[in-house]
A and B are shown apart, each in its own frame.
Chain A
Amino acid sequence: MGREGDCMKRNVIRIALVVVLIALGFGLYVLGKEHQIFVDNKDIVIDGVEYKSENTIKVVVDNVDLEEVKKGKRKVAYTPGPWHKITAVEILPDGSTREVERKFTLSPSDVAVVNLVALFEVENGWLEIQ
């Protein structure tokens, strides 16, 4: 009598396991998907306001150290997963620095462009997703 029940139970468990594995696969895909994150040190217009690129900025995206991004240049970081953190240190002409750290999330197929100038100046609009 228990046999059929067992069998039923087992099938449920097996199907659940397959579902879990597929879900795991998808989760891994999201977790491990590598994104291209472009980092621009360029002029940008947001809401009609223009921000000028003036100084060299040191950038670290997640664990990838992009080092210095010169004025008017673009660099790219490859880094996996949905959650990202960008740290930028702007070297002001007087030698002093200012630093900003921001977090953002991406979905698996996203390619991100971060404007460093805007990163320092505005809350939204520094991140463009393609």
Chain B
Amino acid sequence: MKDQSLTRAKNPLVRFAISNAVPILFIILLIFAVPLSGFSSDYLLNEIITRLGRNSFLVISLLIPVMAGMGLNFGIVLGAMAGQIGLIFMLDWGVVGIPGIVLAMLVGTPIAILLGLLAGTILNRAKGREMVTSMILGFFINGIYQFTILYGMGSVIPISSNKLLLPRGYGVRNALDLLSVRKVLDNMWSIEISGVSIPLGVFSIIAALCIFVFWFTRTKLGQDMRAVGQDMQVAATAGINVDRTRTLSIIISTVLACFGQIIFLQNIGTINTYNSHDQVGTFAIAALLIGGASVAKATIPNVFIGITLFHLTFIVAPRAGKELLGQAQIGEYFRVFVSYGIIAISLALYAWRRQVEKETERRQAKAAIKAAIEDGTGG
């Protein structure tokens, strides 16, 4: 119903083009940029596969709040922070390998649930502007996170490993090495096909998550979330606890983001204690939007298409910038510009479209009444 005016376009090709304008635009952009960059297709394929494994989980964590009508959850950084806290404890306890990763997730989960509960409660007080609130809330909790890590850890919260602590005796170092768990999930089960290594382990985890999301939409709770997402008032009249449903969607999203960040970091191999989570929300959201999602509708295909296009842009932009303008730095800025710009454009288009739709609806309703009355007087 949200995309009504679009689906009314007569030509199916035009309709397809309009509703997928963003991905198509990026494909065109890449058609020019990829040859310019001069990367080999093997390299690109390898990179894309790595990045799909690395980012999918985080991007999928955005889907459920969209379903519940809370827009794009910039608050997944909360989950990312919870994941990082889990990893810090894992490092401190000296647990390595897959048990380490799972342990980090176990530790991160309750933190993510609490943060999700907080975020959900706050967003329920800011209905209608969830996105801006979740974004600022992310900044705010980032402050609390930094406070905890920088002053609490090693003083109040027991952290014993000197490898983690700053020389002054409390506070966690800036960069932490994740060598002990680096790529353990990726290497758990991976095959190589003509020079392209495919981390089947991670992909099967992602597949399991996709199945979960799919299954979830078919549960009572999933149905309730869809109802709440479309019309809170009607859902409340039917006896659905709207606030609780919304909070649950945020909690699920936060917990998934916590897992997602752990998967992401085990692939990268290091944590920037104070920065790794900063851009998680922005990049995940930009990727999802480039995949053709909107504030009100996001699907699993959007996730994979989006990550592929977004990261392909990310990889080739610096090199293409260098070839084109002689400065790799331009490409760096270009990709930042793309991620912010795409969010700005998508949000603006969405808000605009909603206004236009309201207007069209009004006009159509009026035309219908007019016609009905004229029929009545004529007959």
Contact = CB atoms under 8 A, between A and B. Distances in A.
B93 A29 contact: yes
A32 B98 CA distance: 7
A31 interface: yes
Interface stretch (B102-110, B191-199, B276-284, B366-374): B102-110
B94 A21 contact: no
A34 B99 CA distance: 11
Contact of A33 (B94, B102, B106, B107): B94
A100 interface: no
Nearest to A31: B99
Interface in B5-32: none
Contacts of A31: 99
Interface string A42-53: 000000000000
Contacts of B99: 28-29, 31-32, 80
Contacts of B96: 32-34, 78, 80
Main secondary structure of the interface of B (DSSP, over half): helix
A81 to B, nearest CB: 8
A25 B107 contact: yes
B97 A29 contact: no
Most buried by B among A28, A29, A31: A28
Contacts of B97: 32, 80
Contacts of A25: 103, 106-107
Contacts of A28: 95, 99-100, 102-103, 106
B270 interface: no
Interface in B81-125: 93-100, 102-103, 106-107
B243 to A, nearest CB: 23
Given A34-B94, A80-B97, 9 more contacts: A21-B106, A25-B106, A28-B99, A28-B103, A28-B106, A29-B93, A32-B97, A32-B103, A80-B95
